[in-house]
Amino acid sequence: MIFLKKFCVVVVSLAILGMSIGCYGVGKQAQVNEQAIIGGGVGSAIGAGAGSLSSLGSGPGALVGLSVGMATGALTASYYYDDPEGRPMDDEELQQLQQAIQERDRRVEELEIEAQEREAKKRALMESQQDIQSELERLKKGMGDNVRLSADESGAFKVTMLADVMFDSGSADLAPDGIAALDQAASQIRDQFPDAFIEVRGHTDNEPITVSGWSSNWELSTARAVSVLHYLVNDRNFDEDRIRAVGFADTEPVADNDTKDGRRKNRRAEIVIMPKNSPAAKELGVN
């Protein structure tokens, strides 16, 4: 009885297939629909056989095959016929379609590579930041209270000392407390970054000079930077080929010059440490 049921389903499916093939000769204007019918017939026949071997049963299998086959046939037809009259694509059009698909695949591959590169850069940046933070923590050891430390993503470290500690008012000569602060900083810099490039920067507030003999804050900031440089080279044996001094006057404030405390913070000397092969050193061209 089961065999007879399966046989009937297969016969019905083959009948549908035969009807589909017969309909194929109606005309070119219905080629998309004809492809769907042919696909449906083939799908129903295959579905019946597959259904008889599965839990669906042969009947549902034929119906599933019919639906899938019609859909597949319609999609197939839409690829090979591009207008209502069912005109087949010529070789040139097929080649253009193939090129478009290849271009799409190429672009998808490029996007995947770009995504991988962005992820790699993100990981490298996170690792770099962790390394910088570790270096900063090591550099802080042995530094006095008169020294502030910071770091940026370029791999540069900055040692900041207030001018009130480093110099007497209006002077570029190092004060005793300034020398003590420099000694502490110099020892750590030499131990941690023996091959680093050093840039000493002098900064002032925006108050015009009225008492000392300096003609402008430019001269004062530069003289103070040079004074620190001389001490590091002459007394602490820093390599003079890997150090320079720059004066910035009041052009790079870190606080509000309208307040007394802000002006005090802006009067400062900075030692910028650019380790060998760091992005900061490469950008400066001193590796």
Give the CATH number for residue 278.
Answer: 3.30.1330.60
Same domain? For 115 and 164 the reply is: no
Same domain? For 171 and 113 the reply is: no
DSSP per residue over 67-82, as a string? HHHHHHHHHHHHHHB-
Residue range(s) defining the domain that contains residue 104: 89-134
Same domain? For 129 and 164 the reply is: no
Q: What is the pLDDT of residues 28-64, one digit of tens each?
A: 444 444 554 555 554 455 444 544 444 445 455 555 4
| Mean pLDDT computed over every residue of the chain | 76
DSSP per residue over 264-281, as a string? HHHSEEEEEEE-TT-HHH
Euclidean distance between CA atoms 136 and 143, whole angstroms: 11
Euclidean distance between CA atoms 59 and 51, whole angstroms: 7
Percent of the chain residues topping a pLDDT of 90: 35
Range with lowest mean pLDDT among 144-158, 168-182, 191-205 = 144-158
Same domain? For 207 and 83 the reply is: no
Same domain? For 170 and 268 the reply is: yes
Phi/psi of residue 5, nearest 5 degrees? -65, -45
Same domain? For 232 and 157 the reply is: yes
DSSP per residue over 32-53, as a string? HHHHHHHHHHHHHHHHHHHHHT
Same domain? For 123 and 165 the reply is: no
Side-chain half-sphere of 26: how many Cα atoms within 13 Å? 17
Euclidean distance between CA atoms 181 and 183, whole angstroms: 5
Same domain? For 78 and 103 the reply is: no
Residue owning tokens 């502490």: 184
Range with lowest mean pLDDT among 27-36, 138-147, 159-168, 266-275 = 27-36
Residue owning tokens 């190429």: 106
Same domain? For 277 and 265 the reply is: yes
Same domain? For 172 and 203 the reply is: yes
Stretch 131-154: mean pLDDT: 74
User: For the chain, how many structural domains are there in total?
Assistant: 3
In 3-state terms, what secondary structure has residue 243? strand
Token pair of 232 as six digits: 């590091």
Provide the pLDDT for residue 276.
87
Range with lowest mean pLDDT among 52-56, 152-156, 177-181, 232-236 = 52-56
Stretch 77-102: mean pLDDT: 70
Q: State pTM to two decimals.
A: 0.55
